[in-house]
Amino acid sequence: MELSENALVVLQKRYFKRDDKGNCTEDWSQMVSRIATNISGGDQGKYKRYYELIDSGLFLPNSPTLMNAGSDLQQLSACFVLPVDDSMEGIFDSIKNAALIHKSGGGTGFSFSRLREANARVRSTNGISSGPITFLRVFNAATDAVKQGGTRRGANMAILNVDHPQILEFIKAKEDNRELNNFNISVGITEGFMNAVHDDAEYDLISPYSGERVNRLKARDVFNLIVEMAHKNGEPGIIFLDRINQFNPTPHLGKIESTNPCGEQPLLPFEACNLGSINLSSLVKDKAVDFELFRNVIRESVDFLDDVIDRSRFPLPEIAAMARANRKIGLGIMGWADLLFLLGIPYNSEKAVGLGEELMEFLDYESKYRSMELAKQKGSFPNFKGSIYEKGGLKRTVKNLDWDKLNREISTNGIRNATTTTIAPTGTISMIANTSGGIEPQFSLVYVKNVMDGEKLLYINPHFEKSVRKAGLYDAALMEQISELGSIQQLPALPAALKQVFVTAHDISPQWHVKMQSAFQKYTDNAVSKTINFHRSATKDDIRMAYELAYESGCKGVTVYRDGSRENQVLNVGNKMKEELNGTRIAPRQRPEITTGVTRRVETGCGHLYVTINSDSNGPCEVFTQIGKVGGCASAQLEAIARLTSLCLRSNVKVRSIIKQLQGIRCPSPMWSNGTMVTSCADSLAKTLETFLKIQPDKDKDIARINAESSRITRQGNLNTHIGSCPDCGGFIEHSEGCLKCQICGWTKC
């Protein structure tokens, strides 16, 4: 596979093995050889097949397999669910077990629904319970202390059933964006609750401890609160638990209570699942999908993922037992948006939805057919008896393939894996494959990467660039304009046919997002990780519509994100200020005769820098700078930056937006200042502005208190990781597949 520049950055930073000094000791072919050697288990025929499978870029396994196969760790699964029992011992056992999983590079899901409500009696101590929300914060703090295998932070999912007595507190648990930042949260929704919402009826809240009704709530009020919070900042999501358990392949082992962090992998307590994705954009031949190649890749991928189970060293003996008894795998896809570009099909069209169903049905059918053949060779998964396969087979809506025949084959021969299909976030692996993530649309066709010495490089979607060049319309200025707008829909220079095909996430209505998720869910054993993107102007009714449509169309859960709905915007494509005030451009407010403020000294590579930030009655309004070395280019540039920053402040530009533009700019002489790296004078201004936001000086604060507060903040290190840009490289981050993802270096947070 030909590696892009971004792919090489990701591989070197996160996947290639390193020596004790931190130097890479692998290249691409050596990494692929390491993985193929390990997973093939010494079988030379399999080694060759697995090497070619990965090296081609047609398939990539989940990150733990890429990182850990052939290493001392040998933990190859990404997804885990742990039980949280209603006892102090059970709670802290789960915290310990989660730490072991995070250390090995995995993510964990929990249901807190078994925990008795706050203030319920604890018989053993004659005291009262703290309740699930308090313990959720303990889990979050524990995750902060563990670095995942030296590569990524621990990711968690917390689920609380909608009938838990503390459901209202849970729904609002992340109203403050600074809370529970190691958790995604979702409400476990039941059929009974949705029926009560439809009928505008009340429903019961049930104590997990006593099993008795402790309260009744109006279902529609609770649903509206979920919508309100999701509109505010994207959380909580919702998980349709009854629907998930309707497709639970092993109901005799218990109910599924939770999912992995991104929601696409429902699992029983102590279950694990290893995932992998096929690159659809590499399957095109003569402007059509090559189904024979697709079939071969599916079969090879199932073999690979099944062998991963046998090669994996699981972090807990209980997980090893469950994983090998059910042998769940999750084969999915990436490159869907790029495939549609190649075929000239708009994402927001019935043709695209129909093709999605066709491809996913083919993947689901062929993966199970191969799993059935493996069962003939090696035996069914041990918990096959009592599974849905033994009780009449897997029910699927017949579209193109003979599911009845497959069910008869499975009844006779068994099946090797309890599940075979999942649409997972593809994060960094789609960057390695240089394709779009999962089933998401492209977020932007063109984006800007800042490199050394302030140079900016344009990254253009290769399929879009090829089409524009073919039409004779390529122009560098036009590409820069697209990077600002994030879309081509408002550009008169481009033809309608091009605009119709090359749509991005915000060009597509939420209804089409949901319809696409539903199309893939129909033929997916587990679930689909996807973000339903909304414009900033979306209303609560728009969010409600998406939730209701997701339920009605058969989705197992849904995650929404309204652009700009968090204090620190996840991704801003385009920096143009909107024209407001009846179509006129914004004018800066007048500076009052007297302002008040603070001055801070920062050590920079150019000398002592003094930054003064003054406020008027509306907030910060101006910035002054004075550098120790008077005169010269540095002073002139700093004065220009300060004047432009002041202009922005008086034009009501958010301070955090200014910080985002200035932070991380590098000069040849970076400098440590009070324990923090200052990469340039502009960066020092960003850091001072961030400190100013923390201090919020006013007439009631004297200088001594301000200095004390500033020192305390400095000692804490960097002042809040600003999620508007990547904390690793400063690149832009998009919100997709239920995760945050840097397009430059591959940093992810789920």
* Annotated catalytic residue 690: no
What is the Cα Rg of the chain in Å?
27
Closest CA to 473 of 450, 494, 451: 494
The single residue of 117, 235, 257, 264 carrying the catalytic annotation is 264
The answer to whether residues 748 and 153 touch, using CB atoms and an 8 Å cutoff, is no
Helix 510-521 to helix 350-378 angle (10° resolution) is 20
Q: Which ranges constitute the DSSP H helices of 272-349?
A: 291-311, 317-326, 336-343
Contacts of 495 (CB under 8 A, 6+ apart): 471
**Dihedral sign (CA 22, 24, 25, 28):** positive
The single residue of 262, 555, 648, 750 carrying the catalytic annotation is 262
The answer to whether residues 723 and 560 touch, using CB atoms and an 8 Å cutoff, is no
* Annotated catalytic residue 262: yes
Query: Is the bond preceding 620 in cis, omega lying within 30 degrees of 0?
Result: no
* Largest separation between any pair of C-alpha atoms in the chain: 88
Beta strands at 272-279 and 237-240: parallel, antiparallel or unpaired: unpaired
Q: What is the C-alpha to C-alpha distance for residues 558 and 93, in angstroms, rounded to an integer?
A: 30
Closest CA to 222 of 208, 232, 207, 236: 236
Q: For 504-539, give one letter per residue: b (16+ CB within 10 A) or e.
A: bbbbbbbebbbbbbbbbbbbbbbbbbbbbbbeeebe
CA atoms within 13 A on the CB side of 343: 23
Q: What is the C-alpha to C-alpha distance for residues 315 and 286, in angstroms, rounded to an integer?
A: 46
Helix, strand, or coil (residue 114): coil
* Annotated catalytic residue 264: yes
CA distances from 376 to 77, 364, 413 (A): 25, 19, 6
Q: What is the C-alpha to C-alpha distance for residues 92 and 105, in angstroms, rounded to an integer?
A: 20
* Residue found by looking up tokens 């309890």 in the block: 418
Q: What is the C-alpha to C-alpha distance for residues 78 and 148, in angstroms, rounded to an integer?
A: 11
Q: What is the C-alpha to C-alpha distance for residues 444 and 431, in angstroms, rounded to an integer?
A: 14
Record the tokens describing residue 156, joined without a space: 């968690």
The single residue of 260, 348, 383, 407 carrying the catalytic annotation is 260
Q: What is the C-alpha to C-alpha distance for residues 161 and 166, in angstroms, rounded to an integer?
A: 9
* Residue found by looking up tokens 């990077």 in the block: 483
Helix 44-55 to helix 28-40 angle (10° resolution) is 140
Q: Which ranges constitute the DSSP H helices of 503-558?
A: 510-521, 540-552
What DSSP state is assigned to residue 12? I
Helix 655-662 to helix 632-650 angle (10° resolution) is 150
Q: What is the C-alpha to C-alpha distance for residues 162 and 171, in angstroms, rounded to an integer?
A: 9
Question: How distant is the alpha carbon of residue 710 from its chain centre?
Answer: 33
Query: Looking at the annotation, which residues are catalytic?
Result: 260, 262, 264
